[in-house]
């Protein structure tokens, strides 16, 4: 069995990826300090896969604690690095916390990857690296603009750190630029569970629909788009998760040292915020209580992906459409209400 360390493994995308990895024959251990997630997801992973996953409650900005994971698990061949702060608005308010957390943890993990020969390194990047792109859809070759938020800047810097490290040491690295992950595992055993008020659109929608929140706000209605709201590329979390398994398999098969490749993970469809709300109302039958508000700092106007490279080289395809994304998110929210 090939052992993979998944950092941020109790988080939203991390937990779904652990499920996909286990279903494709990998042994997985998790590192998550639970500052932004709950270890309840470990029970959900076990329910789906029948496997109990060990989580190290470690802050990856602590180098010694990070190294202890590798000392205890000498067979780690690869790392999938999710652990990071990820709220755009919060990063504008707390830039130093974002730079410290997101960059120090990455540097420490790369040092361990080199020292302990965990040569397959997959970095959780983001479409925020494109900033406000001059044209859409964006490809992997689209020039990166100035990031619109400190969060986006940490992803740009993170990519640079991974690339520079990969070209010096015997690592095979892959940068996966996600667009907007939404939805939940069809079993409803795991899903998105933000701590505090949701920063992302879909949990804000589902929490409003079920009554956890009295109302939600659409940030900006005067953008140059079809209906004035921002355009994003929403993609089901299970599709994102499977891309990590494919990327890992690709890296292992190719076995190229001192390499760094980039892939966009999006559906290729640009959806406005208001269109996403309409899709939710259609599948749920719930009329959403939302307000139209001003623009939010750090938001860009529009972005969606050209995903041809991932489709061609990784053999990846999106299985879920927008309505299925919304339906699984809603079923997850309803399952939480029953607990």
Ramachandran angles phi, psi of 190, nearest 5°: -140, 155
Q: Report the b/e string of 19-43 with b at 16+ CB within 10 A.
A: bbbbeeebbbbbbbbeebbeeebbe
Give the active site residue among 56, 130, 151, 290.
Answer: 151
The angle, 0 to 180 degrees and rounded to 10, between the axes of the packed helices 273-284 and 322-338 is 60
DSSP assignment of 113-131, as one string? HHHTT--EEEEEEEGGGG-
Max Cα distance, the chain (Å)? 55
Tell me, yes or no, if 98 is annotated catalytic: no
How far the first Cα of the chain sits from its last, in Å, is: 35
The answer to whether 233 touches 270, Cβ cutoff 8 Å, is: yes
DSSP β-ladder status, 231-232 and 271-272? antiparallel
d(CA 260, CA 270): 28
Residue count of the chain? 339
Active site residues: 151
């Amino acid at each position: 069995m090939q052992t993979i360390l998944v950092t941020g493994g109790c988080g939203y995308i991390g937990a779904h990826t652990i499920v996909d990895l286990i279903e494709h024959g990998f042994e997985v251990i998790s590192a998550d300090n639970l500052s932004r997630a709950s270890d309840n997801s470990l029970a959900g992973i076990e329910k789906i896969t029948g496997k109990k996953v060990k989580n190290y409650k470690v802050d990856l900005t602590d180098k010694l604690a990070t190294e202890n994971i590798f000392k205890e698990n000498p067979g780690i061949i690869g790392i999938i690095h999710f652990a990071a702060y990820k709220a755009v608005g919060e990063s504008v308010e707390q830039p130093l916390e974002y730079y410290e957390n997101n960059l120090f943890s990455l540097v420490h993990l790369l040092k361990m990857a080199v020292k302990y020969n965990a040569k397959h390194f997959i970095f959780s990047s983001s479409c925020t690296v494109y900033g406000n792109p001059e044209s859409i859809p964006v490809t992997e070759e689209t020039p990166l603009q100035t990031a619109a938020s400190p969060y986006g800047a940490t992803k740009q810097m993170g990519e640079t750190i991974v690339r520079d490290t990969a070209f010096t040491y015997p690592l095979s690295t892959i940068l996966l630029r996600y667009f907007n992950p939404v939805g939940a595992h069809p079993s409803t055993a795991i899903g998105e569970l933000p701590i505090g008020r949701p920063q992302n659109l879909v949990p804000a929608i589902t929490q409003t629909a079920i009554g956890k929140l009295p109302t939600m706000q659409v940030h900006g209605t005067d953008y140059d788009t079809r209906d004035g709201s921002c355009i994003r590329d929403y993609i089901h979390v299970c599709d994102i998760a499977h891309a990590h398994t494919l990327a890992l398999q690709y890296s292992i098969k190719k076995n190229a040292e001192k390499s760094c490749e980039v892939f966009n993970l999006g559906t290729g469809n640009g959806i406005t915020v208001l269109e996403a709300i309409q899709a939710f109302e259609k599948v749920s039958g719930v009329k959403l209580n939302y307000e139209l508000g001003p623009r939010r700092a750090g938001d860009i106007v529009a972005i969606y992906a050209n995903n041809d490279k991932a489709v061609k080289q990784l053999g990846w395809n999106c299985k879920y459409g927008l309505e299925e994304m919304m339906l699984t998110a809603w079923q997850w929210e309803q399952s939480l209400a029953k607990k």
